[in-house]
């Protein structure tokens, strides 16, 4: 019988190995990391196997010569590292993995042929994903941003490191061959992204999950940007401790709406315009209404708060009194618990998928939404598990700035210093809103 992840994609017995291809500093690790995060967010088991990490066990701080193809010793060590990464990945597939990502340059036909035969031999589908870029400026920006912080160059002079890294790339360039550049790799399944998505080639996609991965990767870009998240200002229902509803802002909520433009400006650091996304509920629209006129605003139904069904407009105490089993069931598995006639966190994640897609395509976006929705979006960027994400404290009157980086997402928070009620409730606690423990903070 097939395996099901319950979120709309059937993984069945599928095992897919995504093999990255491309010269260093072309955003491969970034793409790999993103794809992994996206799949995990959708409950598809995914993992990245970075050949560089395996190689570092044998050669922690190699110089550029190491990567010269004429250096037999270097070549042998790099091949051994690839073999070790693949072996681990196969083990991982046996323990339930679905999409494994092999993060390495795989820049020659010979290496790709070896990888293909090695992996297909184990009954795993292979899809090559190449990032090809000849925009020198972009490459240098990448080198500075990523590689000077790479473990290979820890403790070295950044100038020196960048130079050495440029030389390392030259060594790869000597032998680099883009996929099917000679026309004899036409039978491979591959995705080739050129100059950050300006041109894309897709070849021989085999199944639905592959097409889904390809679709996601086509939406990615590697231009620097940030995403700002805020909940709406405190609402009249928040004051009464009631969930859901479509209420107006409280007095303090209005104050937050007034203060938000300055808060955003401080965080952005210039008057460069953001695009503002709100839900279709009154309290988010009201919160966004004082933002500068040159900010575009869009309302998304998909950003509406988790639908609490029959419990909409109730306090936690009322829910606990009226539906005691439900109250407990929700604590036991908050991610999957679906309110009577309403939604679960899982349902919210599914309806947010187009938002995530759109977010990946866009540049600077400010999202003004609701607690559960912000939690799900936050979980996507911060790789929170399904156990953690529904409990993440997202206080009112606080702006968050998320900046995706090659090795993770950076978070900065900006407090408006306007008092608001707490809408957070700890797991297994009484049916009251309380202040989250400091260490649980965002």
Catalytic residues: 103, 232, 305
Report the C-alpha gap between 90 and 98 in whole angstroms: 11
Is residue 6 part of the contact set for another protein (CB under 8 A)? yes
Site string for another protein, 328-347 (x = CB under 8 A): ----------x-xx------
From the list 101-109, 135-143, 167-175, 200-208, the region that binds another protein by CB under 8 A is: 200-208
Residue whose CB is less far from another protein, 354 or 440: 354
Q: Which of residues 271-290 bind another protein (CB under 8 A)?
A: 280
Report how far apart, in Å, the C-alpha atoms of 189 and of each of 109, 132, 168, 358, 389 are. Answer: 14, 16, 28, 26, 35
Q: Which of 148, 299, 336, 422 binds another protein (CB under 8 A)?
A: 299
CB of 174 to another protein, least distance (A): 28
- The count of other CB atoms within 10 Å of the CB of residue 154 is 10
Is residue 138 part of the contact set for another protein (CB under 8 A)? no
Residue whose CB is less far from another protein, 8 or 60: 8
From the list 8-16, 30-38, 226-234, 260-268, the region that binds another protein by CB under 8 A is: 8-16
**Total residues at the site for another protein (CB under 8 A)?**
42
State the sign of the Cα–Cα–Cα–Cα dihedral 76, 78, 79, 81. Answer: positive
CB of 366 to another protein, least distance (A): 15
Is residue 172 part of the contact set for another protein (CB under 8 A)? no
Is residue 4 part of the contact set for another protein (CB under 8 A)? yes
With CA atoms as reference, report the closest residue to 442 among 422, 413, 409, 406: 413
Is residue 123 part of the contact set for another protein (CB under 8 A)? no
Report the C-alpha gap between 412 and 267 in whole angstroms: 9
Report how far apart, in Å, the C-alpha atoms of 17 and of each of 101, 107, 116 are. Answer: 6, 17, 10
Q: Any residues with CB less than 8 A from the CB of 312 and at least 6 apart, and which?
A: 243, 244, 245, 342
Report the C-alpha gap between 411 and 188 in whole angstroms: 39
CB of 76 to another protein, least distance (A): 36
Is residue 357 part of the contact set for another protein (CB under 8 A)? yes
With CA atoms as reference, report the closest residue to 260 among 398, 95, 73: 398
CB of 354 to another protein, least distance (A): 7
Q: Which of residues 394-433 bind another protein (CB under 8 A)?
A: none
In the chain, the largest separation of any two C-alpha atoms, in whole Å, equals: 75
Question: Would the annotation count 341 as a binding residue?
Answer: no
The gap between the terminal CA atoms of the chain, to the nearest Å, is: 41
Q: Which of 70, 159, 198, 270 binds another protein (CB under 8 A)?
A: 198
Is residue 313 part of the contact set for another protein (CB under 8 A)? no
Rg (CA), the chain: 24
Is residue 205 part of the contact set for another protein (CB under 8 A)? yes
Give the residue numbers of the binding site for substrate: 231-238, 283
Give the residue numbers of the binding site: 231-238, 283
């Amino acid at each position: 019988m097939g395996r099901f992840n319950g979120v709309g994609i059937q993984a069945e017995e599928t095992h897919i190995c995504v093999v990255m291809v491309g010269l260093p500093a072309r955003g491969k690790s970034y793409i790999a990391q993103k794809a992994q995060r996206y799949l995990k967010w959708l409950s598809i088991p995914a993992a990245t196997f970075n050949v560089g990490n395996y190689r570092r066990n044998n050669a922690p701080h190699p110089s550029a010569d190491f990567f010269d193809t004429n250096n037999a010793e270097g070549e042998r060590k790099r091949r051994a590292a690839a073999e070790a990464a693949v072996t681990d990945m196969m083990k991982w597939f046996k323990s339930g993995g679905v999409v494994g990502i092999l993060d390495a340059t795989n820049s020659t036909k010979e290496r790709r042929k070896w990888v293909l035969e090695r992996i297909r031999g184990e009954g795993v589908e292979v899809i090559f994903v190449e990032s090809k870029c000849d925009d020198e400026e972009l490459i240098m920006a990448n080198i500075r941003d990523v590689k000077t912080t790479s473990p290979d160059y820890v403790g070295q002079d950044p100038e020196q490191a960048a130079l050495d890294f440029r030389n390392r790339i030259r060594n790869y360039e000597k032998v680099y061959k883009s996929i099917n550049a000679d026309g004899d790799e036409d039978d491979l399944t591959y995705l080739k992204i050129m100059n950050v998505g300006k041109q894309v080639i897709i070849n021989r996609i085999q199944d639905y999950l592959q097409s889904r991965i390809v679709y996601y990767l086509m939406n990615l870009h590697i231009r620097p940007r940030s995403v700002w998240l805020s909940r709406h200002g405190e609402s009249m229902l928040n004051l009464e401790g009631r969930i859901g509803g479509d209420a107006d802002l409280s007095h303090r909520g209005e104050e937050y709406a007034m203060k938000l433009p300055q808060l955003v400006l401080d965080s952005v650091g210039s008057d460069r315009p953001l695009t503002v996304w709100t839900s279709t509920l009154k309290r988010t629209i009201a919160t966004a209404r004082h933002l500068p006129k040159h900010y575009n605003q869009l309302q998304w139904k998909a950003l509406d708060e988790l639908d609490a069904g029959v419990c909409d407009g109730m306090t936690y105490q009322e829910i606990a009194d009226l539906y005691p089993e439900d109250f407990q069931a929700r604590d036991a598995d908050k991610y999957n618990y679906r309110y009577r006639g309403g939604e679960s966190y899982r349902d919210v994640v599914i309806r947010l998928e187009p938002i995530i897609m759109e977010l990946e395509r866009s540049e600077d976006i400010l999202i003004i939404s609701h607690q559960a929705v912000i939690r799900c979006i936050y979980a996507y960027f911060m790789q929170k598990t399904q156990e953690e994400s529904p409990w993440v404290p997202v206080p009112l009157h606080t702006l968050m700035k998320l900046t995706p980086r090659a090795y993770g997402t950076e978070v900065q928070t900006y407090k408006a210093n306007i008092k608001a009620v707490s809408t957070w409730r700890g797991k297994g606690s009484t049916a009251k809103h309380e202040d989250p423990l400091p260490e649980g903070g965002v």
